[in-house]
């Protein structure tokens, strides 16, 4: 995360300044206070015709354009197989932007598109037809980039994982990843490589992919992206922990009983049956998204927000996590219920599929801060509520002093960070109920982002793209952390006793009963998902 992106100032709650853009330079007033446009570069998007480009990358680039954070020298080349005119490609992207902007439930809801801002951006975009596994397109890219005065280029692999190796190999073969010294000052153009997950499917494949990439590029050039880390509410975890003296003193095993991290969805696999059959909920979510949330909650304080300082702390944390065993994990698959059809009835899903759509895990971190504190992770499709949150439960206070009162239980003190769809925090605690006797009642203190800060259209990739252009790798994953994450789950992915059982759960429920039993063994229970007030 860039230093500018982390700045907190009095203007942070103000409405973002509107800006009128044309195909020429940005006006001097464009851009949030304290932020400067990223350096000029050529952004090459492999997979320009895909859903990722349409739904996430283009809206993010548009938002960066509106904020004045893209340099006038910015150029974007979209590479995809299939002949197509640039105008047709841009018309398609523009229509999608309009649809997303009008969707009140979407993250990109802006009401309408600023035509000047879209014109500024689209006038810098070009479509290039070509196959990812042939040399012609890479030679063309080399010629285009060599003609730029700055020589800066970012290659974004918005493609299926099977294309990672061939694209990287040809980028290396044609010298497109070589950072040459252009003027004798050592400040030649940068070359960066952005890779989406899945970054491997297990430890062996992740090591193989890392080795292949690092034969053609240095680790400092590789930006392994996890869109969860682009969410403001995820980045805010570090601010909540380290910018407030009230939290850090109790953020340790002496005071914390357990932590629950939930990423539940009400939707099924929709049109992703082919992908899900090969991947499953565990691979799709646990070693990346949920582990990244765990790292933000549990890492030791870095000395600064310098990229390597933060990533070193993450690496230390992953090294301290005890490898999971089949006894620590529960898999589930949604069956027909009130909320929809069964997974096996979805398109492109085998009728006898044993793929999990739900995964729960119990994780222990063997270090001085967290030894003995269980972290419970769960993720699932077709659950009773859409919710991504982190609930930190403090240890119960001694009950002896209340023995002669009507009090029969105390509400656990729980600090919850809400990431999606609600954005904010809340704290559950106990107070005395007014009256002549000592009765304890539950109370809650809550903070919602919308009550303090102006709403901004943000799909989660804006900060990640901006930081990549700046060369700030704080929010991107390093090779050692990727491999450590897969190492933690390798015994679950390749169990000695055969495949793990997959338990059924009704669509629209909270998951399989066996997941409840996972916590019950420790005398604990999942936080309720069905409570609409939570």
pTM of the model: 0.88
- Position 91 scores a pLDDT of 95
Indicate whether 354 belongs to any domain. yes
Residue scoring higher pLDDT (450 or 485): 485
pLDDT of residue 8: 36
Same domain, 132 and 184: yes
Is 289 a catalytic site residue?
A: yes
Residue of higher predicted confidence among 141 and 197: 141
Tell which wins on pLDDT, 422 or 502. Answer: 502
Give the CATH number, domain containing residue 375. 3.30.360.10
Alpha carbons 477 and 318: distance in angstroms, whole number: 12
Number of domains observed in the structure of the chain: 2
Residues 191 and 241 placed together within one structural domain of the fold = no
Where is average pLDDT lowest: 32-41, 75-84, 244-253, 466-475?
A: 32-41
Does a structural domain hold residue 202? no
pLDDT digits (tens, 9 = 90+) for 28-65: 334 454 478 899 999 999 999 999 999 999 999 999 99
Answer whether residue 148 is part of any domain: yes
pLDDT score, position 233: 86
The answer on 288 and 171 residing in a single domain is no
181/413 Cα distance (integer angstroms): 57
Confidence of residue 12 (pLDDT cuts 50, 70, 90): very low
Residue 21 maps to a domain? yes
C-alpha span between 194 and 38 (Å, rounded): 16
Distance (Å, whole) CA 2 – CA 470: 7
425-428 long-range Cβ contacts below 8 angstroms, 24+ apart: 425/240
389 pLDDT above the threshold of 90: yes
CA distance 12 to 17: 12
What per-residue confidence (pLDDT) applies to 109?
65
The CATH code of the domain that includes 108 is 3.40.50.720
pLDDT digits (tens, 9 = 90+) for 263-313: 999 999 988 899 999 999 999 999 999 999 999 999 999 998 899 999 999
Encoding tokens for residue 38?
């990223």
Average model confidence (pLDDT) for the chain? 87
Which segment of 125-134, 369-378, 432-441 scores lowest on mean pLDDT? 432-441
Q: Tell me how far apart the alpha carbons of residues 251 and 239 are, in angstroms, rounded to a whole number.
A: 14
479-493 vs 203-214: helix crossing angle, rounded to 10: 160
Tokens of 380: 């699932």
The confidence score (pLDDT) of residue 181 equals 62
In this structure, the answer to whether residues 57 and 171 fall within a common structural domain is yes
189-202 average pLDDT score: 93
Q: What's residue 261's pLDDT?
A: 98
**12 within a domain of the structure (yes/no):** yes
* 301 in the same domain as 160: no
- Say yes or no: 177 and 305 in one domain: no
Q: Which residue among 81, 289, 423, 530 is the active-site one?
A: 289
Span of 53-57, 115-119, 233-237, 396-400 with lowest mean pLDDT? 396-400
211 lies in some domain: no
Beta strands in 117-162 (DSSP E): 125-129, 153-157
Which domain covers residue 166, as residue numbers? 3-196
Q: What is the pLDDT of residues 146-186, one digit of tens each?
A: 999 999 999 999 999 999 999 999 999 999 999 876 544 44
Identify the three-state secondary structure at position 21.
coil
pLDDT the model gives residue 182? 54
């Amino acid at each position: 995360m860039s230093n500018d992106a982390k700045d907190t100032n009095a203007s942070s709650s103000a409405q973002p300044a509107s800006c009128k853009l044309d195909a020429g330079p940005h006006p001097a007033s464009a851009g949030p206070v304290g932020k400067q446009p990223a350096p000029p570069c050529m952004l090459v998007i492999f997979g320009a015709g895909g859903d990722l480009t349409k739904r996430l990358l283009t809206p993010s680039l548009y938002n960066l354009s509106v904020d004045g954070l893209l340099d006038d020298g910015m150029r974007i080349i979209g590479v995809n197989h299939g002949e197509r005119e640039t105008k047709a490609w841009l018309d398609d992207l523009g229509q999608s932007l309009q649809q997303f902007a009008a969707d009140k439930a979407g993250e990109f809801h802006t009401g309408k598109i600023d035509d000047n801002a879209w014109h500024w951006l689209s006038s810098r975009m070009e479509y290039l037809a070509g196959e990812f596994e042939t040399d012609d397109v890479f030679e063309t890219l080399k010629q285009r980039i060599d003609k730029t005065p700055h020589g800066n280029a970012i290659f974004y692999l918005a493609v299926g994982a099977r294309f990672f190796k061939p694209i990287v190999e040809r980028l290396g073969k044609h010298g497109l990843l070589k950072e040459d010294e252009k003027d004798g000052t050592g400040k030649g153009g940068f070359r960066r490589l952005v890779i989406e997950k899945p970054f491997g499917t297990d430890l062996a494949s992740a090591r193989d992919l890392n080795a292949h990439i690092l034969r053609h590029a240095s680790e400092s050039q590789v930006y392994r992206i996890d869109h969860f880390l682009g969410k403001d509410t995820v980045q805010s975890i570090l601010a909540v922990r380290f910018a407030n003296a009230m939290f850090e003193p109790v953020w340790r095993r002496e005071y914390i009983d357990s932590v629950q991290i939930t990423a539940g969805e009400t939707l099924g696999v929709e049109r992703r049956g082919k992908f899900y059959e090969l991947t499953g909920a565990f691979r799709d979510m646990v070693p990346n998204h949920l582990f990244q949330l765990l790292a933000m909650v549990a890492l030791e304080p870095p000395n600064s927000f310098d990229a390597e300082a933060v990533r070193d702390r993450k690496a230390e944390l992953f090294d301290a996590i005890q490898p999971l065993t089949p006894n620590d994990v529960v898999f589930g698959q949604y069956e027909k219920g009130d909320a929809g059809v069964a997974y096996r009835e979805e398109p492109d899903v085998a009728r006898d599929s044993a793929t999990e759509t739900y995964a729960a895990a119990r994780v222990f971190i063997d270090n001085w801060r967290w030894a003995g504190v269980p972290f419970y992770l769960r993720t699932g499709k077709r659950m009773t509520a859409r919710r991504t949150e982190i609930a930190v439960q403090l240890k119960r206070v001694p009950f002896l002093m209340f023995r002669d009162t009507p009090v029969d239980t105390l509400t656990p003190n729980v600090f919850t960070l809400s990431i999606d769809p609600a954005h904010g925090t809340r704290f559950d605690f106990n107070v005395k109920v007014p009256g002549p006797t000592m009765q304890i009642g539950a109370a809650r203190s809550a903070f919602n982002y919308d009550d303090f800060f102006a709403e901004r259209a943000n799909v989660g990739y804006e900060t990640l793209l901006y930081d990549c252009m700046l060369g700030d790798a704080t929010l991107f994953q390093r090779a050692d952390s990727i491999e450590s994450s897969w190492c933690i789950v390798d015994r679950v992915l390749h169990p000695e006793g055969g495949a793990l059982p997959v338990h059924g759960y009704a669509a629209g429920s909270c998951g399989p009963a066996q997941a409840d039993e996972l916590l019950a063994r420790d005398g604990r229970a999942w936080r309720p998902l069905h409570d609409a007030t939570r």
